[in-house]
Chains A and B, each alone.
Chain A
């Protein structure tokens, strides 16, 4: 593929820049990082391989989304790809920016190929059942990029820093009246090496203790399918595995009483060994398990906990 003239990168979370910049560098020799912050942020962007940094002085009254007109003005109308970290705010900025730029928008891209003006961009569809590939015909395209798509570069770059003043917002906007740290667990299931997950097969919240006991015996984190976290609220949302939840990359995943619908299984495709216990021998999870047992989780749970204690 011929390289693009320029790639822009932006994120509301500083830790996303190295991967985004690496993605930009794979498409173009010119990677322009747009950063809200002080000079130290520019240094970090150069260290990660940016060839130019546009530094926006933070405005305390702004929400991240309020910088969208500033981004639109910087990107302008020359053909380019804009890579934005696929955080929650990043997705809001990306969609709004694409409208202002009359650009195509593609979410959570997994691959970008092709030439300038005829890019092919891939992303998951149907909850991970398939990968859709879009052909982009607009000169500008805004993509959000999740973690793990691009590997950070090992060498930095040097270049010019351009100081930019934030544009005043043009439309009525929301105002933040309070900000608080999120309550709940700080568990990062995506990084766990072993996970014991529970689904609808569990009959009562009290029985969670048996799952926790087994997880402790196996030195594993506890995860779950969506209904356990949303609906029953027996576990925090951070523990639910699947399409709108966590993607587990563990070596070992034990699914207790999980039927294995697509929306759940897309969260475990990166797992090395999948083990399942379910009373229904036709449960789809057995089609995607390495080891399984067709039986009652309430009989299996104490036996396993005893065996691994």
Chain B
């Protein structure tokens, strides 16, 4: 099975600084693979191994795509190749734009199945995979927790709020996988060294003949005003410190 695993390169949340005016400073934030896309890559690599297939990792974005450590990180997790579509206009792209570019790129790549994460760790709109499926006119299923390869189809388990559906999905198709559907493997040293030798292809929006329309634009990103906490912290775990802490707990319980 030929599989495209979509993965977004995002700022490391832990490095994001909240400025005094509640805006966010992202410049110093390191680049990483969006957390939930690791599950998409893992599912793709496992499924391709079971079906003697191939995995193409696909990422669209702006300057974070140039981060060579992140590129290698993607490839060290098992995909055979990486395709990048970079353009400055894709900085902070919203889901509809991202999906439009992914759809244009997917049309140039041979595939049976496209896998996405359940959402991105920056926007977490949980739209991109579903938008992509609809744009390509393909069946698109979210919340997939298990995938079994079949003949011209995949049988998937879809975990909803109160029930699990077992679905036969004709290929080609787009699935988004849940974050508990697998445990992404830590790349081995051999995989990390091998990643540098795998092919990377870069396309421009022009190469794809793609000009995403913009229906909505992000006007502001502001940290919420946090509730002021008391921050009464006791240092140490001797018996008398714990006793003092128990008294504090009693206050918190009332």
A105 touches B249 (CB 8 A): no
Could you name 12 residue pairs across A and B whose Cβ atoms are closer than 8 Å?
A63-B167, A91-B130, A95-B134, A96-B134, A125-B122, A126-B24, A126-B122, A127-B13, A131-B222, A182-B159, A269-B224, A294-B236
Query: Which residues in B have their C-beta under 8 angstroms from that of A100?
Result: 134
Given contacts A105-B95, A125-B124, A134-B219, contact A172 B24 (CB under 8 A): no
Q: Does B53 have its Cβ within 8 Å of any Cβ on chain A? A: no
Q: Does A54 have its Cβ within 8 Å of any Cβ on chain B? A: no
B96 touches A303 (CB 8 A): no
Q: Which of A98, A172, A177, A262 lies in contact with B138, CB distance below 8 A? A: A172
In the complex, which residue of chain A has the Cβ closest to the Cβ of B230? A290
B124 touches A288 (CB 8 A): no
Nearest 9 Cβ contacts at the A-B interface: A295-B237, A95-B130, A178-B166, A104-B215, A138-B215, A99-B134, A273-B252, A104-B216, A292-B233
Q: Does B180 have its Cβ within 8 Å of any Cβ on chain A? A: yes
Count CB-based A-B contacts (< 8 Å): 255
Interface segment, one of A1-9, A159-167, A203-211, A229-237:
A229-237
Q: Does A102 have its Cβ within 8 Å of any Cβ on chain B? A: yes
Q: Mark A115-128, 1 if CB is under 8 A from B, else 0.
A: 00000110111111
Q: Does B220 have its Cβ within 8 Å of any Cβ on chain A? A: yes
Query: Which residues in A have their C-beta under 8 angstroms from that of B231?
Result: 286-287, 289-290, 292
In the complex, which residue of chain B has the Cβ closest to the Cβ of A121? B216
List residues of B whose CB falls within 8 A of some A CB: 13-14, 16, 18, 22, 24, 36, 94-96, 118-119, 121-127, 130-131, 133-135, 137-143, 155, 159-170, 173, 179-180, 183, 214-224, 226-227, 229-237, 239, 241-242, 245-246, 248-249, 251-253
B224 touches A131 (CB 8 A): yes
Q: CA–CA, A231 to B119, complex, Å?
A: 18
Tell which of A274, A277, A281, A293 has the most Cβ of chain B within 10 Å.
A293
- Expressed in whole angstroms, the minimum distance between the Cβ of B114 and any Cβ of chain A is 14
Given contacts A137-B214, A293-B237, contact A180 B124 (CB under 8 A): no
Query: Which residues in A have their C-beta under 8 angstroms from that of B167?
Result: 63, 174-177
B127 touches A171 (CB 8 A): no
Q: CA–CA, A292 to B241, complex, Å?
A: 11
Q: Mark A42-59, 1 if CB is under 8 A from B, else 0.
A: 000000000000000000
In the complex, which residue of chain B has the Cβ closest to the Cβ of A245? B179
In the complex, which residue of chain B has the Cβ closest to the Cβ of A93? B130
Given contacts A135-B216, A281-B235, contact A295 B252 (CB under 8 A): no
Question: Knowing that A130-B22, A132-B218, A180-B163 are A-B contacts, what are 5 other residue pairs whose CB atoms are under 8 Å apart, sorted by A's residue number?
Answer: A103-B215, A105-B96, A129-B13, A179-B163, A281-B235
Given contacts A102-B215, A230-B180, A294-B236, contact A126 B253 (CB under 8 A): no
Query: Which residues in A have their C-beta under 8 angstroms from that of B179?
Result: 230, 244
